[in-house]
Amino acid sequence: MRPHQPFAPLLNRKLALEEESRSPDGAGGWTRAWVKVTSLWASLEARSASEGEDRGRERAQVRWRILVRATPVGSAFRPRADQRFREGDRAFRITGVAEADPRGRFLFCWAEEEALQ
């Protein structure tokens, strides 16, 4: 029988966790901005990639699995599917979050890399 191997990931990328903020634009619409919530150390792993067309433009999409330290459910610092991670000029829209290990010390965040405008 093998001894229990601890789950010890290498969190070597500092990401900003951002959430969307909307404010009235004065013309009946909304202005969208992204506001930093916190910074988290993470490990990124590319999971899949695809190419295609979107509205007549070439588009490539990469899906990622991002590992971060867990925070309690309900905490303002726990990643959610309506948020994104940002690293410099790169943004990763979070599509799902789940516990990564049996002790609940880490979270997997599935994300899609999106082009910043």
pLDDT surpassing 80 at residue 109:
yes
Q: Tokens in use for 57?
A: 């433009």
Is residue 84 domain-resident?
yes
Is residue 8 domain-resident?
no
Domain hosting residue 75, numbered range: 13-19+32-50+59-114
Burial code (b: 16+ CB inside 10 Å, e: under 16) for 28-63 equals eeeeeeeeebeebebbbeeeeeeeeeeeeeeeeeee
Is residue 76 domain-resident?
yes
Is residue 99 domain-resident?
yes
Is residue 3 domain-resident?
no
44 versus 29: the higher-pLDDT residue is 44
pLDDT surpassing 90 at residue 54:
no
- How many domains does one find in the chain? 1
Is residue 87 domain-resident?
yes
Q: Rounded to whole angstroms, what are the CA distances from 106 to 10, 54, 95? A: 12, 35, 17
pLDDT surpassing 70 at residue 3:
no
